[in-house]
Structure 1
């Protein structure tokens, strides 16, 4: 178990700098290790169930869960307000969520933001309307450690209507690619 936790911590920290400089970093600084975008699609017959994860909703005192969206295509985006690629992809995610709202529900998981102020500002500036789980310590992400874990920030997962992981995108994603992937998963591909 200790090895698993250490591996997840190493993966999560891949897109960041030390937390000691967190309060001093400006939003435009790069302070991250880049990741080459990587897309993994899983054929319907080979898909495994996604874990049911829950956590506090960013900006509220409610708990939200992936189970709240059972029977729907679910797009989970792992992000951090400190992550430059996350800022770059945010408009594409917002537009994709609006364009596919009849097919898919979006859910963010903000990681490595140790207080809610910065991610709340990020959501406001980017005009993000879908909810996010506030996951400062990575406990929610640990639940994905078995099948296609979100091993970079940003990572986007598409869960099919049967609750199975269909797509994992490591690194930033464009609206066009994301909408195409959502369309495929919603069509049972």
Structure 2
């Protein structure tokens, strides 16, 4: 492990059609400045399954089982499932519209404490990279347009916000059950992996640089 690494990251969780996560974790005991570190996930070396800190994700209290319209397989190295949603600006966009950019697709909700804590770092990451090869897509799950808009306006966030009001994209295409959860998608639309749970700005930037450098 590279001893120069100063932050812990959790990356490349492959969520299969049955919803099982497999995650590769790089970690280091040191931390950078005032950023609050994400607690290390615990990996059982015998079965390579990960147990995440419970406080890092929140289950949707309003979430109810929904009938699955179609089976979608999520697999690293395969195309990320496409979808079309409406933005807060009233524009219909598809994931495929962002080919040519590295996409960080962040599933969130206004009631989620850890989403709220993560938002300023998402904004900073977006502002520093929006004119480059990267975009943040913040997918609001299960809430109406006014609820999402009021929250975004109050926070002064400017990254694209997509409305998944019926939760179908989150639940039926990306099998999201806890928030926040972030997916990374390469410039050609290929799924790189996912990070379930809150991240800090240093963790986000390290993952982005590793993707750019072809390290993951």
TM-score normalised to structure 1 length: 0.71
Deviation at 1:89, TM superposition (A): 0.5
Q: Which residue of 2 aligns with 1:108?
A: 138
CA distance change for structure 1 residues 53 and 18 in 2, over 3 Å: closer, same or farther?
A: closer
Q: Which residue of 2 aligns with 1:152?
A: 178
Question: In 1, Cα distance between the equivalents of 2:115 and 2:193?
Answer: 18
Which has the larger helix fraction? 1
Question: In 1, Cα distance between the equivalents of 2:94 and 2:158?
Answer: 17
Root mean square deviation of aligned Cα: 2.3
Question: In 2, Cα distance between the equivalents of 1:143 and 1:111?
Answer: 12
Question: In 1, Cα distance between the equivalents of 2:62 and 2:119?
Answer: 23
Question: In 2, Cα distance between the equivalents of 1:78 and 1:129?
Answer: 16
Match of 2:170 among 141, 144, 164: 141
- Alignment partner of 1:186 is 2:212: yes
May I ask how many residue pairs the two structures share in their alignment? 149
Q: Which residue of 1 aligns with 2:121?
A: 92
- Give the secondary-structure state (helix, strand or coil) at the position aligned to 2:136: strand
Deviation at 1:100, TM superposition (A): 2.4
Structure 1 runs, 4 residues or longer, greater than 6 Å off: none
Match of 1:79 among 95, 104, 108: 108
Deviation at 1:51, TM superposition (A): 1.0
Task: Tell me if the contact between 2:60 and 2:178 (Cα under 8 Å) persists in the aligned partners.
Answer: no
TM-score normalised to structure 2 length: 0.62
